[in-house]
Amino acid sequence: MSVTLERTDDGTVATLRFVGEHPLNVLDAETLEALLDRVREVAADRAVRVLVLTGRDDVFSGGADLTHLAALDDDAYRHYLATEYTLFAELEDLPLVTVAVVAGACVGNGAEMALCCDFRICDPAARIGLPEMRVGFVSPAQRLARLVGMGRAKEILYGGRLLPAAEALELGLVTAVAEDLAAETARATARYAAFAPYALPFTKAGVHRAYGVDGVGARPFDAHEQRAAFATFRGPDFVEGSDAALAGRRPAFTSRRPATTDLGGTP
């Protein structure tokens, strides 16, 4: 996977691009770590006013690679989770305007990463969703619920539904849908780069605090989602769901509900 960071000549707009050879541009642990390093580089550069996050020209990301996940032991998966959630939090907290530019599939933790951005611009063929439930895995819920509301979030998450670009726009999940992504991105970033760069971080922080997002380490739902992810990673549904997905068949879930969802402790 190639992870690159480029800046405009005046340094106000940075583009973070991740491009891999896998058909779905999936995210493994190494890619997450490289993205986190580049996000931290942007955070340290006070000249940057806008960050554009994008994948390949034909696909944003299909999310996690099930083959990669299945090969991880418990410690490696804990590291994967910690890296993933640190990336999400630090991307979401960047004191500047962030824009995900989405072509094609934007799925799983790829979609969650896009939801960490302030705005999302998609092409008409984009499909966005958190389909983890289809393979018996817990879906991250907090960002989707904040954007579309509890009822809509449940309807989308329980069945692992992928939203076409037009519906995502109607729900407010994306900011714009454009045939010419490059032209729309150029227009949007020019407008965002003209925003007051000293005042904007205070405004962004105020909006985040209003929704309980108050800096890295102050996200109470992150700990629950990581514990739930670890529980379902070794749970019977994900064993069946991942086997079915890799074999190209429909899963047959035969498990019973857990005794409790209060997992306590750390992953």
Please choose, from the candidates 259, 250, 253, the residue with its C-alpha nearest in 3D space to the C-alpha of residue 236: 253
What is d(CA 114, CA 87) in angstroms, rounded to the nearest whole number? 11
To the query of whether residue 132 is one of the catalytic residues in this protein, the response is yes
What is d(CA 240, CA 141) in angstroms, rounded to the nearest whole number? 22
From the candidates 92, 132, 184, 225, which is the catalytic residue?
A: 132
Q: What order do you get walking across the sheet with 162-164 strand by strand?
A: 105-107, 127-129, 162-164
Which residues are marked as active site?
132
